[in-house]
Structure 1
């Protein structure tokens, strides 16, 4: 935690310094992006350069880490140094709007002028008054990825429910040979852990609140989800804390039968990125071995769930309440002239939330489907994955579930994600400090406290 705090403070100093430099140089806009990987940053800068060339409006790009994004935003709000435009997950939209960070007037102008009917996911960002608090740009649906070759050899069914997931994890778990039944996120300081667990909770019918806004986490279904997750981690997972790169690395090394990850893993699994190459035994001769021999389950179901469910994420372009009018122009450019270049940054994980234009309603959907993916080598996803897998990616980006958003609890969702309530308490269960029953009660209490504190603000 101390390391994360230090990183956050150092990043904050950099952000504030950059804001000052930008102001001194007369730059009109400050744009924060969480796409901090070098190749994505270069692609982002190229779109910015095109915008500046076309409009004469300068934009300063500031890269931020998603895990500390909210704390950085809060600090800059207090300091009066908000960015003008920010690329952010939908998780924070409700809370940022309530805190006076996001401008619904600006976001609504962007969406209205580009065409309301052309956007997906607008139901997640309504302001309750007919407008929108942020602009959906792209999205993805989370995947349970499994070694189809090993499942078939062992006569195992695809992992589509709690029972088949556990059965496969138990059957294939072989820790003496450094092979694990499943690898799941456990880092208490990472949003990735919340995202992964929420997938399992949704599958078991667990919701953050009911339609009236009453917190509904201390339930038998939640106890069941917590217990199941902890059972998988402690009995069939690798030792130690598992973070984002750790989960991927374990699967890529051929040391896990299953992993839960976003579709951003697909190009890497095909051997198209040198600093994240699969290194399983078979991958030495065929870098795309895992791509060709993995199966994908977008939605699965638990014993208390009524239907399969999938976690997903929508990314947004938010415009701050302190931004000049040029910010609207910038976001509109991003979602038109620069849009396919933006989706091309990582098409496997960037399904377009703006489908097309009034003249061509499927313009960007069709453009996305032809984009090559990869970093050091580029190729269409269809070179490695079946059309069924590609359809799964597309459908998952628009059909997923999320805690609280359908119930209009975006602000509460933001608070839960900001404080990492679930990852911290889940970690106590994994380490034997709490039982699943105690954890569900504690999570309920903490979320109710967040809700009460927000009501007083």
Structure 2
């Protein structure tokens, strides 16, 4: 359904948000690299890295910055026209598996790169999430972690334990939900991807799966019913009223009006006062801008009552080499981007959201993680996260990729996950509970919607 005509390809490539720029000599036969890091400062940083690659190798590179929301149409259209890029960077898991399902990835090249760099230098979990049977779909690079951030000062005063299980989260939300303070802020808007991400993070920690190993939709199984009931209690009894989204949940926590929040690790630079358009505004923050950062704890993996192990949601981005690419040059470029010269600079574009999954080299296994902790984070102000947060928080972030659990990918259902991402059946089910839909009914409706999506893909 994504395949368009050659005319549409031309319109998409030249009439939308793709921004192209050339590193090096700019010949017509330059290596074409698409990057989903399309913010202006990150495009410029990527250009600098690619310029050095060209200077060292003589390989000209043309960089094309692509908006993530347009990527699926762009790549399928370019492939249909016989003009795919040679390399793609910052590619999320869902998009990686979509390309694999359409046989657009040179998986042999990805395996070759991982072997040359050393598989032992990568997070084993990251390699597994980007692997389909015996095919290494992509070279995993970095990711952001979903975290539960909580007010350590309020927890200590109330004698509450770390909120790393359903029971402890529920107890803390109940105890601290009073006097203008919400117990917890979670995205609940049906149209916000953060709603599904928050639910999935809680669900995987309870052993709830969207689809099982046989391809059966499992959202209406007992463990998922338990998760829906837990989320319904949190959002209707201990959260701000009305549908919440990414911006409103963040604003509530930064204002000191929420005891807990589920957000991505991108929140950490904002808590530290490093972004002027999202500064901490709590009453204590007027005298001490660092108050919230100093008094916030971070939980990564969460465990539900129906599971033996805790789990954590996270997004993993990768480098891929496309079928039909200038293979030797493409492999050389990806190796360079994941190597000692370029990889730290790539991570440094936004270290709060670029947690390395290649931890070091064969001879120096912690080279990149140690460098990452010292990288300046932030937008309007810059400061290493390791100077703002304690070692325990940095360990939670550093080790989080090993705990990433994502629906579908372990069961080779990446294409289905991509389709559900655009339809957002879980987000719709979560928001419906705000208006009185019972949790079991919400679970049943979400399962029915996903089954319909699954049928449409056959």
User: Could you tell me the TM-score, scaled by structure 1's length?
Assistant: 0.86
Q: Of the candidates 370, 376, 391, which is equivalent to residue 387 of structure 1?
A: 391
Measure how far apart 1:343 and its partner are.
1.3
Q: Of the candidates 83, 86, 93, which is equivalent to residue 90 of structure 1?
A: 93
Equivalent residues in 2 for 1:431-446 (5 A)?
A: 431-432=435-436, 434-446=437-449
Answer whether contact 1:93 1:414 (CA < 8 A) is retained.
no
Q: Of the candidates 100, 103, 127, which is equivalent to residue 122 of structure 1?
A: 127
Measure how far apart 1:12 and its partner are.
6.7
Cα deviation per residue 1:171-203 (whole Å; 9 max; x = unaligned)? 3234x74x3221111232333222111011112
Measure how far apart 1:354 and its partner are.
1.8
- In the alignment, structure 1 residue 149 sits paired with structure 2 residue 153: yes
Q: RMSD of the TM alignment (CA)?
A: 2.9
Q: Secondary structure at the match of 1:402?
A: coil
Equivalent residues in 2 for 1:407-422 (5 A)?
A: 407-422=411-426
Partner of 1:403 in structure 2? 407
Partner of 2:287 in structure 1? 285
Question: Against the structure 1 CA distance between its residues 43 and 295, is the aligned structure 2 distance closer, same or farther, given a 3 Å change threshold?
Answer: same
Tell me the distance in 2 between the aligned counterparts of 1:141 and 1:369: 15
Question: Against the structure 1 CA distance between its residues 183 and 38, is the aligned structure 2 distance closer, same or farther, given a 3 Å change threshold?
Answer: farther
Measure how far apart 1:98 and its partner are.
0.7
- In the alignment, structure 1 residue 166 sits paired with structure 2 residue 199: no
- In the alignment, structure 2 segments of 5+ residues that lack a partner are 1-10
- In the alignment, structure 1 segments of 5+ residues that lack a partner are 1-9
Measure how far apart 1:218 and its partner are.
1.2
Cα deviation per residue 1:121-154 (whole Å; 9 max; x = unaligned)? 21112232x3311110013432110111122223
Tell me the distance in 1 between the aligned counterparts of 2:424 and 2:229: 19
Cα deviation per residue 1:254-290 (whole Å; 9 max; x = unaligned)? 1211111122221221112223221222222222211
Measure how far apart 1:162 and its partner are.
2.0
Partner of 1:6 in structure 2? none
Q: Of the candidates 254, 257, 272, which is equivalent to residue 255 of structure 1?
A: 257
Tell me the distance in 1 between the aligned counterparts of 2:21 and 2:381: 38
Tell me the distance in 1 between the aligned counterparts of 2:170 and 2:13: 43
Measure how far apart 1:334 and its partner are.
0.8
Cα deviation per residue 1:108-133 (whole Å; 9 max; x = unaligned)? 232233233322221112232x3311
Answer whether contact 2:22 2:61 (CA < 8 A) is retained.
no
Number of residue pairs aligned between Structure 1 and Structure 2: 442
Deviates more, 1:268-277 or 1:37-46: 37-46
User: Could you tell me the TM-score, scaled by structure 2's length?
Assistant: 0.86
Tell me the distance in 1 between the aligned counterparts of 2:373 and 2:231: 35
Partner of 2:56 in structure 1? 54
